Chain A
Amino acid sequence: AQSVTQPDIHITVSEGASLELRCNYSYGATPYLFWYVQSPGQGLQLLLKYFSGDTLVQGIKGFEAEFKRSQSSFNLRKPSVHWSDAAEYFCGSSNDYKLSFGAGTTVTVRA
C-alpha cells in the first residue's frame, strides 16, 4: 500500500524567508504526486502536481516542487514567503485513482 509521510508537523518561517516542506512517499512505481494547500475551514487547493517528465514542477503562488526518485521525495519550496502563505499543506500520492495524504504541515509566517 502506498503511504505519504510529511516529517514536519509545524514550521514557522519569517516573511520573506524561504520555505521548504518535506514529503516522502513509499510506493514501488512512480506515483502521481500532489501538493495541496488548505486555509482554515476551507477545502483543498491544488498547488502543483507531478505525473512524469521534468522532475522540477512549477505551481501556483510561486511554489515549486522537485521529484527525486532516489530519495522517494517530493519536497515543496518557495523562495520568499508571504504572510498569506500561512496555512496547512498536504502532500498527496495517487494510485488506482485514490489519493493518500500525509499528515500535513502547518506553516506559520511571522512578521
Chain B
Amino acid sequence: GAVVSQHPSWVICKSGTSVKIECRSLDFQATTMFWYRQFPKQSLMLMATSNEGSKATYEQGVEKDKFLINHASLTLSTLTVTSAHPEDSSFYICSARDSRTSKSHEQYFGPGTRLTVT
C-alpha cells in the first residue's frame, strides 16, 4: 500500500512554455502533498506544501506565480511550471501524507519527474 505515482516521468519542453506534473496517491487519500526539487548530486529541497481544498504554502524563495500548485482532490496534486526556462530544469519529486492514520509523519514519495527545458 501507500503508492504514489507521478506523471510524466520525464518531459522536455521549450523555453517559455508551461509544463504540468501530476502527483497521485493510488491507494490512500492524501490531505497533504509536498513538492520537492532536486538538482544533480544534491539533496531534496521542499518547494511547497499542498493541502487539499486550500492554497499551497510555499517555502521561502519559491515563486508561487511560477510554480502553480493545485490540490483539487484527495488523490491528486499538480505542479505547473509556468514560462519554463533552462534554469528550471531539475528533478521534481512529490510526496503524500495520509493524515488519517497514526503514521501521519510518514511521507510516501513518488518516483520523480525529470524536467529538461531547452
Contact = CB atoms under 8 A, between A and B. Distances in A.
Interface in B89-106: 91, 93, 95, 97, 104-106
Determine the main DSSP class of A at the interface with B: strand
A99 interface: yes
A43 B105 contact: no
A43 B112 contact: yes
A74 to B, nearest CB: 14
B49 A98 contact: yes
A23 to B, nearest CB: 12
Chain B interface size, as a band, is: 20 to 34
Given A44-B95, A94-B107, A98-B34, 7 more contacts: A42-B111, A42-B112, A43-B4, A43-B109, A43-B110, A49-B105, A99-B46
Given A42-B112, A97-B32, A90 B105 contact: no
Contact of A41 (B44, B49, B97, B112): B112
Contacts of B32: 97
A97 B105 contact: yes
Nearest to B102: A51
Interface of B: 4, 6, 32, 34, 42-44, 46, 49, 91, 93, 95, 97, 104-112, 114
Contacts of B46: 98-100
28 contacts: A32-B105, A34-B106, A36-B109, A43-B4, A43-B6, A43-B93, A43-B109, A43-B111, A44-B93, A44-B95, A44-B109, A45-B109, A46-B108, A46-B109, A49-B106, A51-B105, A97-B32, A97-B105, A98-B46, A99-B46, A99-B107, A100-B46, A101-B43, A101-B44, A102-B43, A103-B42, A103-B43, A104-B43
